[in-house]
Amino acid sequence: MKRTPFLTSTVLTAVFCLVIVALSGAALFVFLSREKEQVLQNAFRQTDNLSRAFQEHSLRTVENVRQVLESLKEIYEKRGGGVIDTFEEAANASVARYAIRSREAQGTLFNLLSIADENGDLVLSSQRPFRALNVFERPFFRAHLSGVQEFIVGEPILGRATGKWFIPMSLPVEKPDGSFGGVILASVDPFYFSLFYRQVRLGPKGFVLFSGPTGKVLTGTVQDGDPPFGKSIAESNLFRSMMSREEGSLTCFGLPDGEKRIISYRKVAPYPLFISAGMSLDEILSPYYRRRTAAVLAAASFTLFVALFFAAAYSAFSRERKEEERFRNFFEQSSVGFAIVSPEGEWIHFNDKLCEITGYPREELLERPWRDLTPPEELVGEMKVMAKAIAGHWEDVFIEKRYVRRNGTLVDVDVSTKIIWKNDGSLRYFASMVQDVSERKRSERLLAKRAEELELHREAIIESMAMLAEYRDRGTGNHIRRTKEYVKLLLERSGSAA
Q: Coil, strand, or helix at residue 122?
A: strand
Q: Dmax over Cα atoms in the chain, in whole Å?
A: 201
Angle at 148 (CA atoms; ends 146, 151), nearest 5 degrees: 145
CATH superfamily membership of 334-436: PAS domain (3.30.450.20)
In 3D space, the residue among 288, 265, 340, 258 whose CA is nearest the CA of residue 2 turns out to be 340
Distance from the Cα of residue 475 to its chain's centroid: 120
Is the torsion defined by CA of 476, 479, 481, 483 positive or negative?
negative
- Give the pLDDT confidence score for residue 218 in this predicted structure: 93
How far apart are alpha carbons 62 and 455 in whole angstroms? 143
Q: Which amino acid is at 110?
A: F
Output the DSSP codes for 373-427: GS-HHHHHHHHHHHHHHHHTT-SEEEEEEEEE-TTS-EEEEEEEEEEEE-TTS-E
Distant-in-sequence, close-in-space partners of 176: CB < 8 Å, separation ≥ 6 = 80
Q: Name the CATH code of domain 40-283 (choices 3.40.1360.10, 3.40.50.2300, 2.70.240.10, 3.30.450.20).
A: 3.30.450.20
Report the number of secondary-structure helices (H) and strands (E) in the chain. Answer: 13, 16
Contact status, residue 100 vs residue 106, Cβ threshold 8 Å: yes
How far apart are alpha carbons 485 and 289 in whole angstroms? 116
Instruction: Return the H-helix or E-strand segment holding 338.
Output: strand 337-341
Residue 49, phi-psi category: left (phi > 0), alpha (psi -120 to 50), beta (remainder): alpha
How far apart are alpha carbons 271 and 212 in whole angstroms? 9
pTM greater than 0.75 (yes/no): no
Is the torsion defined by CA of 357, 361, 365, 366 positive or negative?
positive
- Give the pLDDT confidence score for residue 348 in this predicted structure: 86
Burial of 382 (0-12, 13-18, 19+ CB in 10 A): middle
Burial of 139 (0-12, 13-18, 19+ CB in 10 A): middle
Contact status, residue 296 vs residue 28, Cβ threshold 8 Å: yes
In 3D space, the residue among 140, 144, 106, 146 whose CA is nearest the CA of residue 126 turns out to be 106
Alpha helices in 112-236 (DSSP H): 139-145, 190-197
Contact status, residue 221 vs residue 208, Cβ threshold 8 Å: yes
Same fold, 40-283 and 334-436: yes
Segments making up each domain of the chain, as ranges: 40-283, 334-436, 447-497
- Give the pLDDT confidence score for residue 214 in this predicted structure: 93
pLDDT by position in tens, the chain (length 498): 444 455 677 788 888 888 888 898 899 999 999 999 999 999 999 999 999 999 999 999 999 899 889 988 888 888 765 545 555 555 554 545 555 554 444 457 888 888 899 999 988 887 778 788 899 999 999 999 999 999 999 999 888 877 888 999 999 999 888 899 999 999 999 988 988 898 888 889 999 999 999 999 999 999 888 888 889 999 999 999 999 999 999 999 888 888 999 999 999 999 999 999 999 999 999 999 999 999 999 999 988 998 898 888 888 878 777 766 766 665 665 678 888 898 888 888 888 888 988 899 989 988 888 888 889 888 888 888 988 999 888 989 999 988 999 998 998 899 999 998 988 888 988 989 898 888 888 888 788 888 787 777 777 776 666 665 554 555 555 555 555 566 566 666 555 544
- Give the pLDDT confidence score for residue 459 in this predicted structure: 74
Q: Helix 281-333 vs helix 6-79: angle between axes, to the nearest 10 degrees?
A: 170
- Give the pLDDT confidence score for residue 163 in this predicted structure: 83
How far apart are alpha carbons 161 and 110 in whole angstroms? 13
Distance from the Cα of residue 60 to its chain's centroid: 51
Q: How many CB atoms lie within 10 A of CB 120?
A: 17
How far apart are alpha carbons 485 and 396 in whole angstroms? 50
- Give the pLDDT confidence score for residue 313 in this predicted structure: 83
How far apart are alpha carbons 352 and 120 in whole angstroms? 119
In 3D space, the residue among 295, 244, 229, 288 whose CA is nearest the CA of residue 262 turns out to be 288
